[in-house]
Amino acid sequence: MSKVKILSIVSSVLFIANIALITFLWMGAKHRPHPHRNKKLIIEQLGLQGNQLAQYDSLITIHRKGIQANQDSIRGIKKVLYSNLNNNTNAANRDSLMQQIANFQKNIELLHYQHFADIKAICTKEQLPAFAELSKELDELFSNPPKPKKL
């Protein structure tokens, strides 16, 4: 076989492998959208302008701080919970830790709900129909897609 023929075969195989990889990544697991994508989407769908944009940015900052604080608390409790696997702690202690996690998760959901109620409050009467439409999509926009299983 000539060198040209071998290079052609290798190039073809690499090209097909690249196409397969790109297809796999594109069709594979859904990735969580970048937060700025959702911010832009909300601004566009509601038509936020001027002072509303500053208020919206402020709401986002407050919301993120609240969510982060609750998530940090959950992580800390989970560390304690899972470290108890080595200590043979009782079920009551385990259940207490799980209840604490549930309470922080409830706080997160309340923060999300209040965040969108606050966004609604900065909308004009003309923007409220657009907010009503947006509210039908909020669970999909801001939910975490399932993570791919690792074997």
Rounded percentage of the chain residues whose pLDDT exceeds 70? 88
- Same domain for 60 and 85, yes or no, is yes
Per the listing, tokens 């970048």 go with 34
Neighbours of 138 (CB within 10 A): 16
Looking at the domain assignment, is residue 63 inside a domain?
yes
- Same domain for 95 and 121, yes or no, is yes
Q: Is the pLDDT of residue 59 over 90?
A: yes
Q: Tell me the pLDDT band of 129, cut-offs 50, 70 and 90.
A: very high
- Per residue in 79-121, pLDDT (tens digit) is 999 988 887 778 888 899 999 999 999 999 999 999 999 999 9
For the full predicted model, state whether its pTM sits above 0.85: no
Q: Write out the residue range of the structural domain in which residue 80 sits.
A: 33-141
- Same domain for 44 and 74, yes or no, is yes
- Same domain for 18 and 38, yes or no, is no
Query: How many domains in the chain?
Result: 2
Query: What is the DSSP-derived secondary structure letter of residue 61?
Result: H
- Same domain for 82 and 10, yes or no, is no
- Same domain for 6 and 66, yes or no, is no
